[in-house]
Each structure stands twice: as structure tokens, then as C-alpha cells.
Structure 1
């Protein structure tokens, strides 16, 4: 049972997330042989003011 965790900044549409999990499921199934129904994906969406790169909050970046 593959378990995939994906962390990303919030702001994508439900349709974009739907396509993401579909594509990831297909890739994991193809490369591991696991049936799609046994692949689990957890999406962790972070607010831009809760993520930093280079010491600057994403919400403060231009």
C-alpha cells in the first residue's frame, strides 16, 4: 500500500488537485505495480503565511 504525501502552497482549484492525484496515482501504479485502489495520497495545503523559503514568508514575496 503506497502512501504518498504531497505538501504544497494552497491556491489550486479542486480540478487541478483532482488531476494531480490522478497523475500521481498512475505514476506510482506504473512504477510499483500496486493497484490504483491501494495507493493513498495525502495533500497538505499550507497557507502562504505558514511557509518560508530563503527566510521570507511566501506571503511576503512579490
Structure 2
């Protein structure tokens, strides 16, 4: 059972998330030959103030 943990900045719409998980599921099924109901995707919304790159918070960008 493939399981994906995806962290992304908060603010995506429900429709964007739906399209994303559909695309990931399709790509996984096509490449690994698994059934859609075996693909698990966990989305975690992260505030920009809780994510940093290069020593800078994204909320400060």
C-alpha cells in the first residue's frame, strides 16, 4: 500500500486538493500497477510561519 505524506503551505482550496490527490493516485496506479483504493495520501497544511528555507521563515518573505 503506497502511502504519501505531503506537506504544503496552507491556503489551497478543497478543489485544488481534490485535483492533486486524484493526479497522485492516477500516477501511482499507472506506475506501480496498484488499485486506487490502496493509495493513501495524507495532506498536512503548514503555516508559512512554521516553515523555513535558508534560515528564513517563509512568513518573512
TM-score interval (norm. to shorter): over 0.9
Task: Please name the residue that 1:36 is paired with.
Answer: 36
How far is the alpha carbon of 1:54 from its aligned partner? 1.1
> 1:28: Cα distance to partner?
0.5
Q: Aligned ranges for residues 1-62 of structure 1 at < 5 Å?
A: 1-61=1-61
Distance 1:49 1:25 in 2: 30
Pairwise CA RMSD: 0.6
Q: Unaligned regions of 5+ residues in structure 1, if any? A: none
Q: Which runs of 4+ in 1 moved over 3 A?
A: none
Distance 2:54 2:5 in 1: 23
Q: Which runs of 5+ in 2 are unaligned?
A: none
Q: Normalized against structure 2, the TM-score is what?
A: 0.95
The two structures have a TM-score, normalised by structure 1, of: 0.94
